[in-house]
Amino acid sequence: MSFMIRDPRGCSNIGGALAANMEKCRSSLMHLFSLYGYHPFSPAEFQLIEDVWDKISPSRARRLIPVMSPLGEACVLRGDLTLSAMAYLAVHHTQSEWPLRLSYADRVFSVPAPPKGNLEESQVGVELIGCKEEGADTEAAVLLLRALDLLGIENAVVVFGDVSFLSCLFADLPAELSARLADALIERCYTGYSALLDGASLPEERRALLKRLPMLKGGASVIDEAASLLDTPDVLKPLRRLCAELSSLGYEGRMLIDLSFVRDLGYYSGVIYNAYSGDGTLLGGGGRYDGLLSDGGIGAKSVGFGLNLKELASQCAAPRQVPLVTLWCGGCRASEALRYADALSRKNVQFELSWCGDKEESRESARRRGSLWWADLASKSAFMFACGRAATLKEFEEEALSC
Amino acid sequence: MLTFALPTGRSFGECVQILERSGLPVSGLKDAGRSLVVEEGAFRYILSKPSDVPAMVYYGAADVAIVGNDVIEEAGIALAELLDTGLGRCRMAVAGPPGIAEKFRGEASRMMGLKVATKYTRLADKTFACWGAQVKLLKLNGSVELAPALGLADCIFDVVQTGRTLKANGLTVIKETLPVSLRLVAGISSVQLRWNAIFGVVDAVSKAVEAER
């Protein structure tokens, strides 16, 4: 082609099978979420810098993409859907309407972290906000696993950690050391974590425990191993309860525990998780973020997750969508063709209209595009490509539309 | 099978030695020739240019790798750093003709506008920004030490091991920054999903490193 309209670096137009797959994943998941009582939510594209900046970690804040709105407000392109959900909740719902269940399928924008180069990512997910009772964590985790099952990504694994466990573990340490240890774990710098402990003035037994616990990763039995090392094993109660619930639902083989798991988002406060496909691709994650509500003086639970729609679509192979029939409209009036097309659409039949003037060209084009049938509405004849058989339009309807 | 990425070049021999002392199968590595993938027992080794190692681990082509922390920092790629092997010790440093050292004493404003030649533009930018100085970076892919003599730069920012190359080019170390050594790293997804397999390697290499010390 002689002209070219380039995408800005970090952006891409997605079409073809991947786009079709993304739409299939999106609609399947949004339907699933609606069955569980989640209401679709359409977030604003811009967020005010002043409202977002102090609610996420500095490293995440630095990756926000600032823009000045045409109305003169300092904004960022939406970098986080959870904060959008919280903003919506604050303005549109009173506490008497809680808990609020929101679902979304939209884009988030951020400066890419190397080696990635994409500025935008399509996410689909849920937020359960303002739940006073236990059970919110389990609801969200089960919904995540159900979502992956629904898309046929059944060998997916969810890795769980607990931010509150690490907070308890570091609680009696000097504040600066505690913060630096948490930073080392966020960066997954185990050598730095270990060096910090070596340099700290701590009883040898305590140092060994702090070194040992983050190294515990694996199946649910890791929780028992950690509990046996702790004076206060109750700090593992939220994680233990969640794992027990998921095990009783048959998900034991798809859970892993990582006791050093911390997110760099800054607002998570309890159980967190990452979902991976069988080949180790990160599909998304989520967790508990009560802190965003408690900052506003509200004591309630909030939990949610987001999944990368493009990765989901890449993981589940949907069959190629081909039209059942190509309707050649060249030999009849447009209104007549569209009336027939309307009747097919009401029967949920996928078709394609061919306005080509040449009958043979239309049929050849239909064959190339994978259509199963080709129909000439003027002569009321049809042709089935698979066996090269000519038929009447009535025979096509009887054979192809009967089921 | 666990896939291990190893850097080719000057670190390769040390990597093979530490793996051998850790009890990992390395006979194929010692005789790799031009092969870039070597399979031995339960391990697959990928031999790669050092600067490509972080991306290989990040994208899951390798579960674990040995690579210098200078390379990791320059790539800016988030990896799990599991162990400092202590091998290949050197340091990142600013070096230049003796006369330029004065610019590095006192206020950061004295460094402003310096022309710095380096292979490590990302790390240099970060380092000078930490010192509060904005400098002009010149990206060179090799023979960085030549730049001051040719008038291309006031100083260089590079890895220094013995300092002999610097001396041969009339340069001295002005300011040392990051200590560098070979690190055992893994992808974050590998750490979360394949920890039991990875931990065996970490433990074995850790013991070999301790024995060496």
Q: What is the largest CA-CA distance in chain B?
A: 57
Q: Tell me how far apart the alpha carbons of residues A121 and A119 are, in angstroms, rounded to a whole number.
A: 7
Measure CB to CB from residue A191 to each of B54, B183, B193 and give the nearest one: B183
Domain boundary (A257, A287, A321) is at: A321
- Give pLDDT, residue A1: 55
Q: Do A114 and B195 touch (CB under 8 A)?
A: no
Residue type, A272: I
Instruction: Report ipTM (2 d.p.).
Output: 0.90
Measure CB to CB from residue B195 to each of A192, A217, A274 and give the nearest one: A217
Domain boundary (A240, A256, A273) is at: A273
Task: Tell me: do A33 and A146 sit in the same domain.
Answer: yes
A81: closest CA of chain B, how far (Å)? 23
Task: Tell me: do A147 and A14 sit in the same domain.
Answer: yes
Mutation target vs A (from B193, B196, B201, B213; most A CBs, 10 A cutoff): B193
Task: Tell me: do A125 and A13 sit in the same domain.
Answer: yes
- Give pLDDT, residue A363: 96
Task: Tell me: do A142 and A208 sit in the same domain.
Answer: no
Q: Tell me how far apart the alpha carbons of residues A125 and A139 are, in angstroms, rounded to a whole number.
A: 13
- Give pLDDT, residue A264: 73
Q: Is the dihedral of CA A232, A236, A237, A238 positive or negative?
A: positive
Q: A280: nearest CA in chain B? A: B189
Q: Do B189 and A276 touch (CB under 8 A)?
A: yes
Q: Tell me how far apart the alpha carbons of residues B5 and B183 are, in angstroms, rounded to a whole number.
A: 12
pLDDT (tens digit per residue) in B132-163: 999 999 999 989 999 999 999 999 999 999 99
Residue type, A37: G
E-state strands within A80-184? 100-109, 120-131, 157-162
Print pLDDT tens along chain A (403 aa).
Answer: 567 888 999 999 999 889 999 999 999 999 999 999 999 999 999 999 999 998 998 889 999 999 999 999 999 999 999 999 988 887 888 888 889 999 999 999 999 999 999 999 999 999 999 887 779 999 999 999 999 999 999 899 999 999 999 999 999 999 999 999 999 999 999 999 999 999 999 999 999 999 999 999 999 999 999 999 999 999 999 999 999 999 999 999 999 999 999 987 678 889 999 999 999 999 999 999 988 877 777 777 899 999 999 999 999 876 677 889 999 999 999 999 999 999 999 999 999 999 999 999 999 999 999 999 999 999 999 999 999 999 999 999 999 887 6
- Give pLDDT, residue B213: 79
Q: Do A191 and B83 touch (CB under 8 A)?
A: yes
Q: Tell me how far apart the alpha carbons of residues A164 and A363 are, in angstroms, rounded to a whole number.
A: 65
- For chain B, residues classed under CATH 3.40.190.10 are 2-89+181-212, 90-179
Q: Do B193 and A256 touch (CB under 8 A)?
A: yes
Task: Tell me: do A294 and A209 sit in the same domain.
Answer: no
- Give pLDDT, residue B69: 96
Q: B62: nearest CA in chain A? A: A280
Q: Which residues of B are less than 8 Å from A159 in CB distance?
A: 192-193
Task: Tell me: do A39 and A107 sit in the same domain.
Answer: yes
CA A359 to chain centre: 46
Q: Do B78 and A159 touch (CB under 8 A)?
A: no
- Give pLDDT, residue B136: 97
Closest by CA position to A218, among listed A261, A171, A170: A261
B54: closest CA of chain A, how far (Å)? 9
Q: Which domain holds residue A309?
A: 1-153+277-321
pLDDT (tens digit per residue) in B95-123: 999 999 999 998 889 999 999 999 999 99
Q: Tell me how far apart the alpha carbons of residues A112 and A118 are, in angstroms, rounded to a whole number.
A: 6
Task: Tell me: do A295 and A229 sit in the same domain.
Answer: no
Task: Tell me: do A53 and A95 sit in the same domain.
Answer: yes
Sheet holding B90-96, edge to edge: B136-139, B115-118, B155-160, B90-96, B172-180
Q: Which CATH superfamily is domain B2-89+181-212 in?
A: Periplasmic binding protein-like II (3.40.190.10)
Query: Measured between CB atoms, does A207 come within 8 Å of chain B?
Result: no
DSSP string computed for chain B? -EEEEEE-STTHHHHHHHHHHTT---HHHHT-TT-SEEEETTEEEEEE-GGGHHHHHHTTS-SEEEEEHHHHHHHT---EEEEE---S-EEEEEEE-GGGGGGGSS-GGGGTT-EEEES-HHHHHHHHHHTT---EEEE-SS-TTHHHHTTS-SEEEEEESSSHHHHHTT-EEEEEEEEE-EEEEE-HHHHHHSHHHHHHHHHHHHHHHHHH-
B194: closest CA of chain A, how far (Å)? 8
Task: Tell me: do A5 and A131 sit in the same domain.
Answer: yes
pLDDT (tens digit per residue) in A173-215: 999 999 999 999 999 999 999 999 999 999 999 999 999 999 9
Q: Do A274 and B192 touch (CB under 8 A)?
A: yes
User: Which CATH number fits the domain that encloses residue A171?
Assistant: 3.30.930.10
Q: Do A192 and B54 touch (CB under 8 A)?
A: no
Task: Tell me: do A236 and A385 sit in the same domain.
Answer: no
Inter-chain Cβ pairs, chain A and chain B, closer than 8 A:
62
Q: Do A115 and B183 touch (CB under 8 A)?
A: no
**Both tokens of residue A252?**
């034991």
Q: Tell me how far apart the alpha carbons of residues A40 and A81 are, in angstroms, rounded to a whole number.
A: 13
Dihedral angle over CA of B12, B14, B17, B19, nearest 10 = -70
Q: Do B80 and A113 touch (CB under 8 A)?
A: no
Mutation target vs B (from A190, A264, A272, A281; most B CBs, 10 A cutoff): A190
Q: Are A233 and A227 in contact (CB under 8 A)?
A: yes
**Both tokens of residue A391?**
């038929």
Highest mean pLDDT among A54-63, B24-33, B72-81: B72-81
Place of tokens 């009173």: A94
**pTM to 2 decimal places:** 0.91
Q: Which fold has domain B90-179?
A: D-Maltodextrin-Binding Protein; domain 2 (3.40.190)
Query: Measured between CB atoms, does A253 come within 8 Å of chain B?
Result: no
Q: How many distinct structural domains can be found in chain A? A: 3
Measure CB to CB from residue A157 to each of B79, B193, B199 and give the nearest one: B193
Q: Do B189 and A281 touch (CB under 8 A)?
A: yes
User: Which CATH number fits the domain that encloses residue A367?
Assistant: 3.40.50.800
